[in-house]
Amino acid sequence: MRLIPSLATVLSRVFLFSLCILLLPSTYANQSNQHEQIKKSLGQKIILDFRFYCDDGTSSKACKKPVTTLPNALKDLLITHNIGGVILFSENIKTNKQLIALNYAMQQAMAKAKLPPLFIAVDQEGGRVARLPSSMLTPFPGNLAIGASYYQHGTAFSENVAKGIGSSLSSLGINTNFAPSVDINSEPKNPVINVRSFGETPSDVAVLGQSFVDGLQSSGVISAIKHFPGHGDTQTDSHTGLPNVKHSKAQALKGDLLPFSRIISGGNPPGMLMSAHIQYPSLDSTTVKDKQGREMTIPATLSRKILHDVLRNELGYQGVVVTDALDMAGIAKYFSPEDAMIKAYQAGADIALMPFTIRTPQDINMFAALMGKVSKRISSGEVPSTQLATSVQRIALLKAKFSLNRYAEKALSWRVSDVQNNVKKTRNIQIEKALSRAAITSLYGAEKLPVTQKTWLALMPDALRCLALEKSLTSIAPTLGMACLPLTKLPNKATFEYALKQADLLIVGDISPQHAVYEMKGFDNEEAMASRAPLDDVHRFTKSALQQAKKQGLTTVLVPLRMPYIAKEMQPHTDIAIATFSYNVDSEIYSPIFDALIETILGLNRPNDYVPVQWSGASE
């Protein structure tokens, strides 16, 4: 009996066929038409950010007007250049209704122009990388907290957090999530990965990464694992510089590459994979000249040996490769936008992420000129036509597989109503609370819990963490007393010594590496912010404070809120050390991780004893 495909299947096939016809360069067209066809194909190979836009004469650098609705100029840009996708940032996101309307407007514009739907992407990893406000999507504690829960709970939290994120993003019109990070955090001083990693054991990272991919993609959201071939063993942030990884290829295969390899070969490979702006000489030691004419080892994002020979041929990845943002210093410091795009495409990247910053009408004109130059270089053969055709077909297949065209098929009012009526947020909050409790880990001194002291003094990294700790204590144990001193600006000696004399318990919270100013959310006063203490000074002060507290007979508790490595140095001066692997506090000064911490200190939550990184083998 002949099987008749469903209407949805037929429509999907028609969409895919039309998309491929639209995108693939014709070998029979004349040179002029072929050049125009290449320009259309090139647009699909770009994801832009529309973080800010000013049409009032403000300069590009000074423009800080968030794009929360779609200006006609940006709408026209999307259509004119057949842009493949847009990445959203926190500035673009205010409310459910506003975000849905923005995403709907962009997809409607492409549909009415009979152009392919957009990848609408975001970095929503969970933890410290979360673009949506907590009022819209629970941030969750993050990957290292999930890693800490692994040996007691397996992949339950990884999959359920990903499903919670994915289902929420999908209903808001976001179809692509640049997550998870499957980097191995093997460098204690890594400034950019740390808690974004599931841990330092490659096989565990692979398992948790795969379940995260499964959770996202089962919710209809494309997952992009990152940062290939592995950003974990670096002391440089590729946002500000170009890291160099010294591993041998044998080490890479057993370490950095292993999670990528296993996830790619799993039953549900990620639709996308993001490259890293790092040098990895054992994988490619080729040298190129930067824009100043200086020789340098080629970054992975621009390396054909890494993105094609290793990724495609050795690991067998068939999905879409997207670069990390090309405006980051790891690339932009060394290459012009034009050269970065060409070299990335030559290397095998399918999509250039944020290759050019658009903030003003003048930028739109400059972008058009850039597109002309890049398409001309492609037409001249700098990117082989067969490679271009394969790449745009790969993009078309992914858009069809996840039915990106369907979002604009239902009315905007239905989309808004669907979000307002869903119960995802309640379930996500429950998962966040459960993960917060499961992630709390005793580094040492668990036998001294619970504490019975009634008057506490806390030293916290900033005013927001002081307020969150105080709120959690008041909610859980209102009869206990606590004073908290923020360490944004170090307290003077008299203030600290007076507070210490009133207490019988000292708690020291630590965020290492030091967190960003924006994560303080403006709760510290301007004077403290202007003279913020360097992390080394904070550590000297807290070490002295712990020593003084011990001399006075106080019980001392160290709480590494981010990475736990400082615990080794402080161990001689502390009775108890409890790691949280998260320091999230929302704008309402609510933090389930601080609730879980207080519950653990008071014996209401049993701490985990598995640490996903070897804290005792390194010190700050």
pLDDT at 32: 64
Phi, psi of 224 (to 5 degrees): -120, 105
pLDDT at 616: 81
95-145 pLDDT tens trace: 999 999 999 999 999 999 999 999 999 999 999 999 999 989 999 999 999
Would you state the structure tokens that stand for residue 346, as one six-digit string? 């030559």
Q: Is the confidence at residue 294, as pLDDT, over 70?
A: yes
> Using CA atoms, how far apart are residues 104 and 116, in angstroms rounded to an integer?
14
Distance CA 507, CA 484 (A): 9
pLDDT confidence bin for 24, thresholds 50/70/90: low
* Residues 6 or more apart whose Cβ sits within 8 Å of residue 171: 415, 418, 419, 422, 424
- How does pLDDT run across 405-462, given as a tens digit for each residue? 999 888 898 888 878 666 568 899 999 999 999 999 999 999 999 999 999 999 999 9
One of 3.40.50.1700, 3.20.20.70, 3.90.1150.10, 3.10.28.10 is the CATH number of 440-617, namely: 3.40.50.1700
| CATH superfamily for domain 47-424 | Glycoside hydrolase, family 3, N-terminal domain (3.20.20.300)
Cα separation values, 103 from 72, 96, 405, Å:
14, 11, 12
Q: Write the pLDDT tens digit of every residue in 341-375.
A: 999 999 999 999 999 999 999 999 999 999 999 99
* pLDDT attached to residue 587: 81
Nearest alpha carbon to residue 182 among 214, 224, 217: 224
Judge whether 170 and 100 are in contact, CB under 8 Å: no
d(C-alpha 602, C-alpha 582), whole Å: 19
The predicted pLDDT at position 19 comes to: 53
Distance CA 562, CA 488 (A): 16
The dihedral sign for the CA sequence 211, 215, 220, 222? negative
Per-residue pLDDT at 20 exceeds 60: no
Which stretch of 28-37, 185-194, 209-218, 603-612 has the lowest confidence by average pLDDT? 28-37
Find all residues with CB under 8 Å of 184, minimum gap 6, and list them: 197, 199, 200, 201, 202, 205, 230, 232, 233, 255, 256, 258, 259
Indicate if the pLDDT at residue 83 is higher than 60: yes
Please state the domain extents for the chain. 47-424, 440-617
Confidence at residue 620, expressed as pLDDT on a 0 to 100 scale: 34
Judging by beta carbons within 10 Å of its beta carbon (0-12, 13-18, 19+), is residue 373 exposed, middle or buried? Answer: middle
Say what the pLDDT of residue 23 is. 52
Q: What is the pTM of this model?
A: 0.93
DSSP 551-617: HTT-EEEEEESS--THHHHHGGG-SEEEE-S-----TTS--HHHHHHHHHHTTSSPPB---SS-GGG
Structure tokens at 217: 């993609």
Provide the 8-state DSSP code for 181.
B
Phi-psi region of 277 (alpha: psi -120 to 50; beta: other; left: phi over 0): beta
Catalytic residues: 324
Could you check whether 47-424 and 440-617 share the same CATH topology?
A: no
